[in-house]
């Protein structure tokens, strides 16, 4: 499957709603372990809200490595690729931090229960 962003969204990929629209197109294919091509030909603007609606939601279902294997970016500018990579790295770091915080919370809760 190939998604032409210019046809699906337009040249300005800026809003959360637009990202969610692309997410809906991607999620079924990716869950079936199919590769999907996202074509950025003609895309002029790529903002974080769009990425949150699309990539952010996908990262809730897939590990970063799996997503990067199945989602193929075509005709993407170096600046857009940098924006996507930075977004994914930040999302991955937040996820790791949240996991670490949850682990620490669980450890402290266990210690408190052990004192009774």
Q: Give the start-to-end residue ranges of the domains of the chain.
A: 2-114
pTM: 0.77
**Cβ atoms within 10 Å, residue 72:** 13
Task: Tell me the C-alpha distance between 1 and 101, whole Å.
Answer: 38
Q: Does the pLDDT value for residue 97 go beyond 80?
A: no
For 29-80, list the strands marked E by DSSP.
36-39, 45-46, 71-74
Q: Does the pLDDT value for residue 91 go beyond 60?
A: yes
**CB-side exposure of 22: number of CA atoms within 13 Å?**
31
Residue 12's DSSP bridge partners are 45
pLDDT higher for 52 or 91?
52
């Amino acid at each position: 499957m190939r998604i032409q962003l210019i046809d699906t969204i337009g040249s300005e990929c800026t809003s959360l709603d637009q990202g969610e629209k692309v997410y809906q197109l991607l999620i079924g294919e990716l869950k079936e372990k199919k590769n999907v091509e996202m074509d950025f030909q003609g895309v002029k603007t790529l903002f974080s809200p769009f990425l949150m609606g699309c990539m952010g939601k996908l990262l809730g279902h897939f590990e970063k490595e799996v997503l990067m294997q199945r989602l193929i970016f075509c005709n993407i500018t170096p600046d857009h690729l940098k924006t996507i990579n930075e977004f994914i790295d930040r999302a991955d770091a937040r996820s790791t931090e949240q996991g670490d915080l949850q682990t620490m919370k669980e450890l402290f809760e266990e210690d408190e229960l052990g004192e009774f």
